[in-house]
Structure 1
Amino acid sequence: MSDLQKQLQEMVDTAKWDWLEVHALKGRVVIVSPQLDLVEAGVAVAEDNSKLVKQWLDDSWLYAPTEAHIDRWKQERDKEFTSLIIHPFVLIKELPAELPQGI
């Protein structure tokens, strides 16, 4: 693991929608698909690996939240995400909904 990977791994945190909303409205939130590791995406963005980032954008492994996402998350004010700040962007992954007890 590279020094950058270690540094970014330590920066991964949980963020609630209330905090992310202002960044999303400014077009700075990037959703990382389940197929892609958050830190791996962060490394590519931090290193300005435009070829790889473009490929992930083309494959929809990285994408901006839609109005439907934002509307849904506004309804779920306590919605939490795994997040990583790579200035000026905030990379996020939705945390899976918890299963009801006993399932």
Structure 2
Amino acid sequence: MSNVRADLAEMVDVALWEWLSPHAARARVILVGANLDLVDVGVALTEDNTQLVQSWIEDGWLRHPTAEELSAWNATKEKEFTSLVIPPFVLAKLNF
């Protein structure tokens, strides 16, 4: 039996904005708030935990990048994000 959490944890990686920008152009990048763990969010999406995901969206912890963020990141494509692909989305946290 597969352990979803362990499988997703192995898939977390660092991605440059240059790699993420094509996905953002299709509204597929979801920014994950600093207080949330990428793997926890990935598990919730994978297990279709609509109530939990909706609460994170309502609280502003899951969101699409703003136009201002997209503009800034497109100007400096070397920005690094910790990311996790949960098709059709890419979860991303900005690395400071």
Q: Using structure 1 for the length normalisation, give the TM-score.
A: 0.89
The alpha-carbon deviation at position 33 of structure 1 amounts to: 0.4
Q: Secondary structure at the match of 2:18?
A: helix
The alpha-carbon deviation at position 75 of structure 1 amounts to: 1.6
Q: Is 1:46 matched up with 2:62?
A: no
Consecutive unaligned residues of structure 2, counting only runs of 5 or more, are none
Residues 5-44 of structure 1 correspond to what in structure 2 (within 5 A)? 5-44=5-44
CA offsets, 1:32-53, max 9 Å, x none? 0001011001100111111100
Q: Which amino acid aligns with 1:71?
A: S
Residue in 1 that maps onto 2:89: 89
Question: In structure 1, how many angstroms separate the alpha carbons of the residues matched to 2:77 and 2:65?
Answer: 16
Aligned residues: 95
The alpha-carbon deviation at position 76 of structure 1 amounts to: 1.4
Q: Using structure 2 for the length normalisation, give the TM-score.
A: 0.96
Q: How well do the aligned residues superpose, as a CA RMSD in angstroms?
A: 1.0
Q: Which amino acid aligns with 1:80?
A: E
Question: In structure 2, how many angstroms separate the alpha carbons of the residues matched to 1:64 and 1:57?
Answer: 10
Runs of 4+ in 1 over 4 A off after TM superposition: none
Question: In structure 2, how many angstroms separate the alpha carbons of the residues matched to 1:25 and 1:66?
Answer: 12
